[in-house]
Amino acid sequence: MTADYVVLNRTGDKMPLRGFGCWKIEKDVCADVIYKAIKVGYRHFDGACDYGNEVEVGRGIKKAIDEGIVKREDLFIVTKLWNTFHNKKNVRPACERQLKDWGLDYFDLYLVHFPIPLAYVDPSQNYPPEWFKGNSTAIEIESSPMHECWAEMERLVNDGLSRNIGVCNFNTQALIDMLTYAKIKPAVLQIELHPYLPQAELTKWVKSQGIHITAYSSFGPASYVTLGEHGKRAAPLLEHDAVKSLADKHKVSAGQILLRWALDREYVVIPKSVNENRMKANFDVLDIKLDESDNKALDALKSNQRFNDPLVWFDLPLFA
């Protein structure tokens, strides 16, 4: 690998390959975690309205900027439009609130979190809105077609609120449809990717369209164990014998092996840790060299097990 970034279509912006994910960082430690991550060397941060900690992430960034550790232009900030704001009248207000929460004038990349237009929830009533409206326990879809939502995303670019736009959790069919009407092609597709779920056919086609891939959940089920039995159905990748064997071979951690596997496929990675030593380990992956036999051993783990699946949580077969 000769570069530590990918170059995004249209703008030519450089998106760092090694990012820092903000999901499941508790508010009381979040600002300090982000500040420490910047000191470690991270410059790419991946957040979302749904994570519920954008204000705190912004505070950590502000502290680092105020201390002169980084400038705003050194950072690549990513966040996401939540499902309840897909209606064309709600996209811009949602983005503007998020900019205020982060304390920023613009995002580097703004993503549609899921291709699921949920019924609108007034932020004054519940924020982040999560998946259900009011006291309901069922998914409620509203009539907010993606072509109208995407047109508003494009206006965000034209008005300088975000330099780039993209999507998360879209399959090939959803992307093909989008490419028939998009005036601004998605710069990035963010999806679940790890040796259990390599999604090779999808990623090959997406990359052929000039769209870059961000891999989330690089450690497989690790982030989902606390969310119920679904996350316990598979052996933890970080403890898998094949992964641990390669970690021993290269004298690195299991996590570093999994991140290197993704980087070898030119995927951007966004691991998260609140532990400073693990932050450093997750960042220190550029010099690891996996050989052909190493990659074959990891590829052999393919089982197509998906852990971030609305079918499990809400009986919604998004990826069927």
Q: According to the model, what pLDDT value does residue 163 have?
A: 98
The string of pLDDT tens digits covering residues 32-51 is 999 999 999 999 999 999 99
Residue type, 44: H
Q: What's the distance, CA 117 to chain centroid?
A: 19
Q: Active-site residue 42, yes or no?
A: no
The residue-averaged pLDDT of 178-206 equals: 98
Quote the CA–CA distance of 263 and 261 in Å, as a whole number. Answer: 6
Q: According to the model, what pLDDT value does residue 230 have?
A: 55
* pLDDT band, very low/low/confident/very high, at 112 (cuts 50, 70, 90): very high
Q: According to the model, what pLDDT value does residue 215 have?
A: 98
The rounded percent of the chain whose pLDDT value lies above 90 is: 92
Structure tokens at 39: 């000191």
Q: Hey, what CATH class is 5-233+266-276 in? A: alpha beta
Nearest-10 crossing angle of helices 276-283, 254-263: 40
* pLDDT band, very low/low/confident/very high, at 222 (cuts 50, 70, 90): confident
Task: Tell me: pLDDT of 250 over 70.
Answer: yes
* pLDDT band, very low/low/confident/very high, at 285 (cuts 50, 70, 90): very high
Q: What's the distance, CA 162 to chain centroid?
A: 16
Q: Is 230 annotated as a binding residue?
A: no
Q: According to the model, what pLDDT value does residue 119 have?
A: 97
Q: According to the model, what pLDDT value does residue 290 have?
A: 97
Q: Which of 5, 35, 42, 51 is catalytic?
A: 51
Structure tokens at 319: 């990826």
For the whole model, what pTM was predicted? 0.96
Q: According to the model, what pLDDT value does residue 232 have?
A: 57
Quote the CA–CA distance of 90 and 92 in Å, as a whole number. Answer: 6
